[in-house]
Structures are given as structure tokens and as C-alpha cells.
Structure 1
Amino acid sequence: MRNVSLATLDSSARPVLPIATDYPPGHLLDWHEHRRAQLLYAATGTMLVETADGAWTVPGERAVLIPPRTQHRVRMLDVQTSSLYIEPAAVPWWPTRCRAVDVPPLLRELLRAAADLGRTGAEPPGTTGDGDVRAEALLALILIELERVREAPLHLPLPAAPPFAGLCRAYIATPDVAVTNAEWADAANVAERTLSRDFRAATGMSPGAWRARARLLAAIPLLQHQPVAEVSGALGYASPAAFSYAFTSAFGAPPSTLRGRASEKVRIAAAGSA
């Protein structure tokens, strides 16, 4: 089903509801929660997902597992999603906190197929048509494959309490390599040593390491449209090679991978409209 409101389907007896949605650039789904567990898959673009205690930058062909009743907001950057809304009892293994995951090719194709199920896919399963049998088998296989997905290193922990919560959220919005621990300590009205100790206790990372990771995550949507050299310069790296090394070390793939995928999608779309 495509571009259908969850509210119109949530009472369905179906344990799994597939809904694909096309979002305008920069669209913000502000703070909300779902009764069901949600698989939020980005077929294209980049999703910026945030909860009270973490942020995830999720490029195309990856997904986020969102637990039931978890407050979250999502900014969609040129995104087409394929979501599954799942009754919690159907996925007892679902994580209790948000988790970004890689989506292997088989699961990717299954999600695409699920998105094309008709509105009757939201009705209670029947026994009179091949369509019902196919839909049931398709969704059952998706759940089997979902249990096998691997976590993707796209998470940034967020402190829950001020003053660090405000500092971190402001930095995510405008990451700046020139920001120092001294500036953060002044803003928090604490000594630098206290800042480092308390920040590590809240996030598991030093302030400098946290800001470096925030900048690398900020690079992900930029790489969809800009060359590696431009992104590395904008984020304050001494050279594209230094940026590429840091990016690859953090995410397990070079930045050119994201750039290549974006370019290929554009090329295929242009060819299809010719």
C-alpha cells in the first residue's frame, strides 16, 4: 500500500501492515509514537531519526527498527520509505531501543514487493484467493529475514538531561569543527575536567570523540549530492584522504560508496524517463 495513513488501518486484524510513503524534501515527522513496532526503511534519500536518548542518520537502503510506544521524530531528505507496522506479539525479539540496520538484497526486494500489495492486504486474511496466500507468505518471510538483520553503526548517543542535551542537539543541527571543550564547558558552566567526566558518563564517549562522530554522520546526506572533496572541506578535515579514512573506519565503507549509489539512482531514473 502506498501513501496510506496508518490511522485508517491500525485496527486491522493483520499483524503486519506494509505502507510505502513518498515524502517531500526536508519533510519533518515531528514527535510521535506508534502502538505497533515499526520497520522504517529508506528506499532513497536519508532519514534523520531522533529519540530522547539517541540520533540515527540512515542513508538509503538501510532501515531503523522502532519499538512500540517510542517517541521519535524523523526528518526526511528526499526519502521514499517502505514501512512495516507490526503487532508487538508477532515480533517478541524486537529491540527495546531504536536500532539502525543493514538491509540485505533479499529483504530489500521483499519490502518493495510488500509496498505493492493492494488495499486488500490490510484486511483480515482470507482463503479464497491466491492474492491472500501470496501476501501472507510474503509478509511471513519478511519477518523471518528481519530477525537476521545486522545492526549498522549509524547511532549517536544523546544525553537526556541539560545542559549536555541542548549542547548536543545544537551541534547536530550545525556541526562545527572549531567548537572546543572549553566552549562547551563555558556554556555548561563547569570546568573542562568536569565536562569530560560527566559527558563520558552520560554518553560513553568523550566530548571530542562525540563531536567527531556527529560530523561524520552529518556527512552522509551531503555525500548524496556533493563530491567527497567538498564534503571533507566543509566538515573541517585536512584532506579528502583524512576524511575518507575516518569515514571508512567509522562506518565500514568509503564515502564514495554513498556518492556512487546516489549517482546510479539518478542515472537510472533519467534513463527510465527518456
Structure 2
Amino acid sequence: MKNVPLAEVDLVDRAVLPIGTDYPLGHVLDWHEHRRAQFLYGATGVMIVDTADGTWTVPTERAVLIPAATSHRVRMLGVSTLSLYIEPAAVPWWPATCTVVDVSPLLRELLLAAVDFDIDYRLSGREGIIAELLLHEIAERAPLPFHVGIPASADLAKLCREYLASPDAGVTNAAWAARTAMSERAFTRRFRSETGESPAVWRGRARLLAAVPLLRTASVSAVGGRLGYASPAAFTAAFTRTFGVPPSRFTGSRQPAGHGRDW
């Protein structure tokens, strides 16, 4: 199924509903939730997924697992998606929070095949086997660290979301503490208790996440300089240490073969 609103097919008697959608650049799916769990794969572009608990950046050819009944917002940056909407009872192992995962070549090909299914695809034979195999392949995916947590308290959450929107290497713990009318020591202790990280470590990770969409249209050197790194080498080292791959893996507008944008 392609470009079909989930609401029109949500109650169809199929545990796995594959839907492909092509989004305009910068399109935002505002806060919403699904009755089903969602496997959201970006065949092209970059997706940024927000929940009350965190922000997940999903590079090209990766996917995010979204739990059922989780309120979320998605910003699409040149994205064609292949989504699976899955009955929660069919995936009791689904993660309790959003999780970014890699997508193997086999899983990608299964997704491409499934998106051509009719709404009432056959449960026996090829189509039913592909739907079942999709769930087995997703269960084997390992999580990737493309996320930051958001504090539960409103004042700290506001600081974090503002920083994610406009990361600035010059921001200090003292500046954040002043905005919350706390001492720097008390602020740092409170921030760590809510996120598990110091404010400085959190900001460093947030800056690196911000690099992923920027790398679609700018060089490693330009992105590193924009985010306040002293040199491309310093930026590359920090990015690789955090995410396990160099930033050069995300440069350019990549559109893999077989992932057409004519949906």
C-alpha cells in the first residue's frame, strides 16, 4: 500500500500493515500516536522523532521502532518511508521506548516487497511468509545510539529542546543554571539525575546528533565548523566515538537503488 492514511486501514484484520509514503522536504507529522506499534524506515533523507522522553535522529537507511500508543512527532527531511504498523500482540518483545536500528539488506528487500501488498494480502503463501519474516528480521536488529533523553521537568526540558533546535558550543553549565535560578552544582546534580548524563556530555551528544541532517547538504569540514569543533579531525573523532561510524558515511543526498521517489 502506498500513500494510504493509516486511519483508513487500521482495523483491517492483518497483524502487519505495510505502507509506503513520500514526504515533501521539511514536512512535520505533528504530535500523534498509533494504536499499533510502528516500524518507520527512511529509504531516503533523515527523520527526527520526538517524544516526551527524548529525541531520536534516524539517518538514511535506518529505522526507528515506535511503541504502540506513544505520542510522537516526526520531522521529515527529504524522506521516503516504508512503514510497518503492527498489532502489539504480535510483537510482545517490542521495545518500551523508541529505538533506532540498522536495516540489513534482507530486511530492506522484504520491506520493498511488502509495500506492494494489497490491503487484504493473503496470509498463506508468499505474502504471509514475508510478513512473518519481517518480524523475525526486526527482532534481530541491534539498537543504535542516535538519541538523547529529555528531562521530565518542564524547565530542563525547555532548555534541552531549545538547544536541539539551535545547538551552540558556547553554552555553559553556568548559563543554564542561571536560567533555572539554581547554583551550577545543584543544577548539574539535578540534570544528571533526570538524564543520566552531565549537561556538558548531553550537549556534546546533541550537537553531534544535529550534524546528521546537516551532513546531507554540507561537507564534514563545514558541519564541524558550524557546530564549534576546532578541526574536521576533532569533529570526525567525536562523531565516530559516539556513533561508531565516521560522519563521511552521511554526507550527500543518498538515494539507494530500488528506492524510488515515485510513490
Q: Give your verdict on TM over 0.5.
A: yes
Distance 1:71 1:263 in 2: 29
CA positional deviation for 1:236: 0.3
Which residue pairs with 2:77 in the alignment? 77
Which residue pairs with 1:7 in the alignment? 7
- TM-score normalised according to structure 1 size: 0.91
Which residue pairs with 1:183 in the alignment? 175
CA positional deviation for 1:113: 1.3
Pairing 1:84-233 to 2, within 5 Å after superposition: 84-117=84-117, 120=118, 122-123=119-120, 125=122, 133-233=125-225
Distance 2:29 2:239 in 1: 28
Distance 2:37 2:144 in 1: 19
Q: Deviations over 1:138-168 (max 9, x none)?
A: 1111011111000011010100112101000
Which residue pairs with 1:256 in the alignment? 248
Q: Which residue, 218, 241, 244 being the options, matches 2:236? A: 244
- Counterpart of 1:44 in 2: which secondary structure? coil
Distance 2:2 2:29 in 1: 17
Q: Deviations over 1:81-132 (max 9, x none)?
A: 0000000111111111111111111111111111122xx3x22636xxxxx6
- TM-score normalised according to structure 2 size: 0.95
Gaps of 5+ in 1: 127-131, 270-274
Which residue pairs with 1:22 in the alignment? 22
Contact 1:18 1:82 in 2 (8 A): yes
Contact 2:36 2:68 in 1 (8 A): yes
- Counterpart of 2:44 in 1: which secondary structure? strand
Contact 1:48 1:76 in 2 (8 A): yes
Contact 2:45 2:253 in 1 (8 A): no
> Which has the larger share of helix?
1
CA positional deviation for 1:25: 0.5
Gaps of 5+ in 2: 259-263
Which residue pairs with 1:44 in the alignment? 44
Contact 1:12 1:124 in 2 (8 A): no
| Larger radius of gyration between Structure 1 and Structure 2 | 1
Which residue pairs with 1:272 in the alignment? none
Amino acid at match of 2:170: A
Which residue pairs with 2:261 in the alignment? none
Distance 2:187 2:53 in 1: 18
Distance 1:216 1:184 in 2: 19
CA positional deviation for 1:175: 0.5
Higher RCO (Cα < 8 Å, 6 or more apart):
2
- Counterpart of 1:201 in 2: which secondary structure? helix
Contact 1:38 1:84 in 2 (8 A): yes
RMSD (Å) for aligned C-alpha atoms: 1.6
Contact 2:45 2:254 in 1 (8 A): no
- Counterpart of 1:218 in 2: which secondary structure? helix
